[in-house]
Amino acid sequence: MIRLEKRPQPSRAWTVATPILAVILTMIFGGIMFSLIGTSPFEAIRTIFWDPLFHPQFAAFSRPQLLVKAGPLILIAIGLSIGFRAGIWNIGAEGQYIIGAICGAAAGLALYPMESALILPLMIVAGALGGWAWAMIPALLKVRFGTNEILVSLMLVYVAENLLASVSSGILRNPEGMGFPGSRNLSQWSSSQNLELIPNTGMHLGVLTAFIAVILAYVLLTRHIQGYNIRLTGEAPRAAKFAGVSPARTILFCLGTAGVLAGMAGLFEVTGPAGQVSIDFGSGYGFTAIIVAFLGRLHPVGILLAGLLMALTYIGGELAQLMLGVPGASIQLFQGMLLFFLLGVDVLTNYRVRFGASEVA
């Protein structure tokens, strides 16, 4: 007879070991999936996890991509993790990311073709505000009416996607683009371009911001009273209330932070790697960031590592599509499996597995 016994404290060793265990399990079951669709599992796993970094021919090209993809994932996941810690389930980061990109790009394009060093900072602020405002909708509705933030934030993703489709073929469309949807190329306009800070590393302003966010989140959660209040709200909501922590303020803070970070991530994406506001610039970072947040155990340093790993699966996935003809969706399934296994093995962190019949207390 196997039974579970709750640990008085989550196990530290398992907190670190479970993500690794989940990755190994995903590799095994992912390998089975790849062999089912007729690809050699060992070759597929090697192409996804090893070749982007060490392949003699492709690595020089794909290594910088690691930071390009990890940047937005980390930035968004940091924001989400703060909310998840407090039990606030913002799953609409994709929407906040899109609206941030639209607002930031609109603020910049309004000044086109002026040249000024202040335009990019202005766009970053506008992007952050756009993401913040979009996140304030579920936040205020939750504070004022107690509306479920999960459903509202998610519904707003679909609204944001429709808005994106509307503006990229409407008011933000490139007047010189011969009628094709999509805005002017922001990465080619010297005032708005978000270039690599160090050549051939993929390190652009967004990645730098992500690293700063990791540090700030670490300080917030471990050294600041607001971070303590957030953790308290998540772990013991009633105790937090008695201690005088305002639930409304926590909700506004958590969703607001997530919105600001996601909005900035969107803006950095359209001024850098994506280059323009178009219908499909998003790549689903807002949803993948949820996996990153959990894989990183909602801890800033963990998220940093998880973001890099997830970026690796993106690049490795593209490489596997190219070299092995693996369908793109299999990578999506692969990432979903990772989250699933992680949540499954998480039981080891909080519970002890006991064998044998239960003793009489």
Partner 1 sequence: MDLGNINPVLLVASLMISATPILLAAIGEMVVEKSGVLNLGVEGMMITGAVIGFIVAINTGSPLLGFVIAAVAGAALSLSFGVLTQIFLSNQVATGLGLTLVGLGLSSLLGKPYEGQKTATLPKLDIPILGDLPVVGRMLFSHDIMVYVSLCLILAVWAFLKFTRAGLILRAVGESHDSAHALGYKVVRVRLLAIMFGGACAGLGGAYLSLVRVPQWTEGMTAGAGWIALAIVVFASWRAGRVLIGAYLFGGISVLQLNLQAAGMTWGVQYLSMSPYLITILVLVFISSNRSRSSHDAPANLGQTFHATR
Q: Is 212 in the site for partner 1 (CB under 8 A)?
A: no
Task: Determine the interface stretch with partner 1 among 160-168, 190-198, 200-208, 243-251 (rule: CB under 8 A).
Answer: 160-168
Question: What number of other Cβ atoms are within 10 A of residue 138's Cβ?
Answer: 29
Inter-CA distances, 32 with 23, 24, 309, 345, Å? 14, 13, 20, 19
Q: Six-digit token pair at 58?
A: 């492709």
Least Å distance between CB 317 and partner 1?
Answer: 11
Total interface residues for partner 1 by CB under 8 A: 48
3-state secondary structure of 352: strand
Chain position carrying tokens 């700030």:
216
Least Å distance between CB 349 and partner 1?
Answer: 11
Phi then psi dihedrals of residue 351, to 5 deg: -130, 150
Which residue among 11, 15, 166, 187 contacts partner 1 (CB under 8 A)? 166
3-state secondary structure of 192: coil
Q: Residue 9 or residue 358: which is nearer to partner 1 going by CB?
A: 358
Least Å distance between CB 283 and partner 1?
Answer: 14
Which residue among 46, 122, 340, 352 contacts partner 1 (CB under 8 A)? 340
Q: Is 147 in the site for partner 1 (CB under 8 A)?
A: yes
Which residue among 223, 329, 356, 359 contacts partner 1 (CB under 8 A)? 329
Q: Six-digit token pair at 332?
A: 């999506």
Q: Six-digit token pair at 160?
A: 């944001």
Phi then psi dihedrals of residue 354, to 5 deg: -115, 140
Distance CA 307, CA 78 (A): 10
Which residue among 291, 295, 304, 319 contacts partner 1 (CB under 8 A)? 291
Detail the DSSP E strand segments found in the chain.
2-6, 196-198, 203-204, 351-355
- 43 to 102, contacts with partner 1 by CB under 8 A? 89, 91
Q: Is 150 in the site for partner 1 (CB under 8 A)?
A: yes
Q: Residue 53 or residue 159: which is nearer to partner 1 going by CB?
A: 159
Distance CA 8, CA 21 (A): 22
Distance CA 187, CA 208 (A): 17
Which residue among 67, 105, 154, 274 contacts partner 1 (CB under 8 A)? 154
Q: Residue 178 or residue 361: which is nearer to partner 1 going by CB?
A: 361
Which residue among 125, 163, 208, 324 contacts partner 1 (CB under 8 A)? 163
- Angle, alpha carbons 15-18-23 (nearest 5°): 140
Q: Residue 123 or residue 345: which is nearer to partner 1 going by CB?
A: 345
Which residue among 28, 190, 333, 354 contacts partner 1 (CB under 8 A)? 333
Q: Is 4 in the site for partner 1 (CB under 8 A)?
A: yes
Distance CA 271, CA 255 (A): 24
Least Å distance between CB 172 and partner 1?
Answer: 13
Q: Residue 62 or residue 330: which is nearer to partner 1 going by CB?
A: 330
Q: What contacts 13, CB < 8 A, 6 or more positions away?
A: none
Q: Is 29 in the site for partner 1 (CB under 8 A)?
A: no
Distance CA 310, CA 337 (A): 12
Q: Is 146 in the site for partner 1 (CB under 8 A)?
A: yes
Task: Determine the interface stretch with partner 1 among 22-30, 193-201, 250-258, 286-294 (rule: CB under 8 A).
Answer: 286-294
Find out whether 131 and 259 touch, Cβ atoms under 8 Å.
yes
Residue ranges that bind partner 1, judged by CB under 8 A = 4, 6, 37, 89, 91, 141, 144-148, 150-152, 154-156, 158-159, 162-163, 165-166, 287, 290-291, 294, 327, 329-337, 339-340, 343-347, 350-351, 358, 361
